[in-house]
Amino acid sequence: MLNIILLGPPGAGKGTQAARLQAERGMIQLSTGDMLREAVAAGTPVGLKAKAVMERGELVSDAIVSALIGERLDASADKGAIFDGFPRTKHQAAALEILLAQRGRRLDHVIELVVDEDELVRRIVGRFTCAKCGAPYHDHFRLPAVPGVCDVCGSTKFKRRPDDNEETVRTRMAEYRAKTAPILPYYEDKGLVRRVDGMASVDEVAAQIDAIVDGKA
């Protein structure tokens, strides 16, 4: 039962790869971004606090996201967890360590997806998803096989994230550089960091991650 973190800047491909690992291996994708967007859509107290912060591209408070992960962690107990977009600060990294230790679990790998900044902007600004099943698409790299119809569930409704515009993306990247990248040395000291070339195609990135997860790289 593996516990892995996918770490990387906005648009690096964390969600794409986490969803694939969940579908192919039955591991559980724990995405704080998705949890927060669900809370915003449902209008919960957490959602009300998070909405404006997310629209500005800033980080939501450590206490809120750590609590969200704590609530969902047990669901991944048998199958393994893929942490997508968490932890994002040193405080969150410490919180995760405690949450795992309390359950007799530990981290196996921190997989860093490395991608150039210009490529990140291109990816994010073109991104859209199926409004029904969440399957990810892109205006240039990944259109549905039949235009306007989701490959996975057949829905004809799609949506774009309110924080996927160039200005907000720049703020999200600045937040990554200032607050998230500094947690890498913490994991490097523990010998957990594995780097993957996130500029490669989705399938090539998947193969690099699979090799790590299968203990072959």
Binding site for Mg ion (CB under 5 A): 15
CA–CA distances in Å: residue 45 to residues 34, 42, 68, 146: 16, 9, 13, 39
Judged by beta carbon distances under 5 to 8 A according to partner kind, the member of ligand AP5, Mg ion, none in contact with residue 194 is: none
In contact, 11 and 164? CB cutoff 8 Å? no
In contact, 37 and 161? CB cutoff 8 Å? yes
The alpha carbon of 191 is separated from its chain's Cα centroid by a whole number of angstroms, namely: 21
Contact call for residue 29 and ligand AP5 (CB under 6 A): no
Active-site choice (14, 20, 37, 123) = 14
- Full DSSP string of 33-64: HHHHHHHHHHT-HHHHHHHHHHHHTPPPPHHH
Helix (H, G, I), strand (E, B) or coil at 76: helix
Annotated catalytic residue 127: yes
- DSSP letter for 79, please: T
In the window 162-191, what residues touch ligand AP5 (CB under 6 A)?
Answer: 163, 172
Residue 63 makes CB contacts below 8 A (sequence gap 6+) with none
Judged by beta carbon distances under 5 to 8 A according to partner kind, the member of Mg ion, ligand AP5, none in contact with residue 13 is: ligand AP5
Contact call for residue 81 and ligand AP5 (CB under 6 A): no
Annotated catalytic residue 14: yes
Annotated catalytic residue 160: yes
Least Å distance, CB 49 to ligand AP5, is: 11
Contact call for residue 90 and ligand AP5 (CB under 6 A): no
Residue located via tokens 């969902």? 72
The one among 2, 4, 7, 12 contacting ligand AP5 by CB under 6 A: 12
* Window of 71-79, 102-110, 189-197, 200-208 that interacts with ligand AP5 by CB under 6 A: 200-208
Least Å distance, CB 15 to Mg ion, is: 3
Two structure tokens written together for 177: 């550089």
Which residues have a catalytic role annotated?
14, 88, 127, 160, 172
